[in-house]
């Protein structure tokens, strides 16, 4: 008997005496995240409908494989067409580890999935079901310390997706000065991703959080205060940017598959 049922503690048989609906939040989190995981997995393996000039899905950008459809590769195709059992590996599978790793190791998402998937704990003051707990002190969870590595990789992706958004202000013939619904969708996606990165705890730390003397580094202090202000909304950025990525992909897929036409304002 451990935890709240330890022999020295007050003898209360219930795992929690909370009377509010504490299970709603982890349930919603679980439902949304699992839906995203299923959708992202389907799309990563679909290997189709990810490019419709000038729009590219964020799941497939940068498209690095020679298997990419014509025009989809922004920075070349250093990876050849690889296949397993005769099936071509989707270009998305070469890159998704980076945004996935960034979100998996994110301090906000850790809270979200530790509570909703692993129930460690499911909610505050609700006893968790696990017999043992070692936290992030050993493998595999010690890998959470790699968040900074993924943060740097995420910045590279933000730059590339921003270029995708700028390129989306072309028309289907490659001429500049046009704007479509797709342009706005990719622009919103890139903006939200920058917001998510700028509000990240690692960003805040890198800009000035690691300092001992704010007074000796006034510029970094200023940057830190601004990152701190954004950091208050990191949870919101985490969710909205996730929806942004999914929506951008859904939109590009719909255009690329011919289900809808990308409407041009001018």
Partner 1 sequence: MARKLNLRIWRGDATDGGLKDVQVDVNEGEVVLDVIHRVQATQMGDLAVRWNCKAGKCGSCSMEINGKPRLACMTQVSSFAEEETITVTPLRAFPIIKDLVTDVSFSYKKAMQIPAYEHPKELAPGDARMEQIDVERSQEFRKCIECFLCQDVCHVVRDHEENKKSFAGPRFFIRIAELDMHPLDMLKNRKRTAQEEHGLGMCNITKCCTEVCPEHIRITDNAIIPMKERVVDIKYDPARMFSGLLRREKRD
- Binding residues (CB under 8 A) for partner 1: these are 2-4, 6-12, 16-20, 107, 110-111, 114-115, 120-121, 124-128, 130, 132-137, 141-142, 145-149, 152, 201-202, 205, 209-210, 212-215, 221, 231
Identify whether 121 is preceded by a cis peptide bond (ω within 30 of 0).
yes
- Give yes or no for a contact between 65 and 81, defined as CB atoms under 8 angstroms apart: yes
In the complex with partner 1, which residue's Cβ is closer, 37 or 136? Answer: 136
Length of the chain: 266
Least distance CB 159 / partner 1 (angstroms): 18
Distance CA 263, CA 265 (A): 7
Looking at the Cβ atoms of 24 and 88, the one nearer to partner 1 is 24
Question: For helices 181-198 and 234-256, what crossing angle results, to 10°?
Answer: 150
Instruction: State in angstroms the smallest separation of the CB of 76 from partner 1.
Output: 25
Query: Which three-class secondary structure state does DSSP give residue 43?
Result: helix
Q: How far is the CB of 193 from partner 1 (least distance, A)?
A: 21
Give the three-state DSSP class for 133.
coil
State which residue, 134 or 175, has the beta carbon closest to partner 1: 134
Neighbours of 205 (CB within 10 A): 16
For 48, the token pair is: 């189709």
Between 178 and 205, CB nearer to partner 1: 205
Query: Which residues touch 150 (CB under 8 Å, ≥6 apart)?
Result: 98, 101, 102, 104, 105
Minimal distance, residue 179 CB to partner 1, in Å: 38
Question: Closest distance between partner 1 and the C-beta of residue 119, in Å?
Answer: 10
Q: Which is nearer to partner 1, 22 or 247 (CB)?
A: 22
């Amino acid at each position: 008997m451990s935890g709240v049922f330890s022999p020295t503690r007050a003898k209360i048989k219930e795992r929690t005496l909370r009377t509010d609906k504490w299970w709603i939040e982890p349930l919603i989190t679980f439902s949304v995240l699992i839906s995203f995981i299923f959708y992202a997995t389907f799309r990563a393996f679909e290997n189709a409908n990810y490019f419709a000039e000038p729009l590219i899905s964020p799941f497939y950008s940068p498209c690095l494989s020679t298997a990419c459809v014509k025009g989809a590769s922004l920075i070349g195709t250093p990876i050849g067409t690889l296949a397993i059992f005769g099936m071509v590996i989707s270009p998305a599978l070469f890159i998704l580890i980076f945004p996935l790793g960034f979100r998996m190791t994110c301090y906000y998402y850790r809270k979200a999935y530790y509570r909703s998937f692993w129930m460690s704990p499911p909610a505050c003051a609700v006893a968790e079901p696990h017999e043992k707990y070692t936290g992030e002190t050993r493998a595999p969870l010690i890998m959470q310390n790699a968040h900074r590595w993924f943060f740097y990789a995420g910045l590279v992706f933000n730059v590339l997706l921003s270029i995708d958004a700028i390129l989306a202000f072309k028309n289907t013939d490659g001429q500049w000065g046009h704007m479509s619904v797709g342009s706005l969708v990719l622009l919103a996606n890139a903006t939200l991703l920058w917001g998510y990165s700028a509000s990240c705890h690692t960003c805040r730390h890198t800009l000035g959080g690691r300092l001992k003397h704010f007074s000796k580094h006034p510029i970094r202090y200023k940057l830190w205060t601004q990152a701190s202000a954004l950091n208050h909304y990191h949870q919101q950025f985490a969710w909205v940017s996730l929806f942004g990525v999914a929506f951008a992909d859904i939109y590009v897929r719909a255009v690329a598959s011919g289900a809808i036409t990308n409407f041009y304002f001018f």
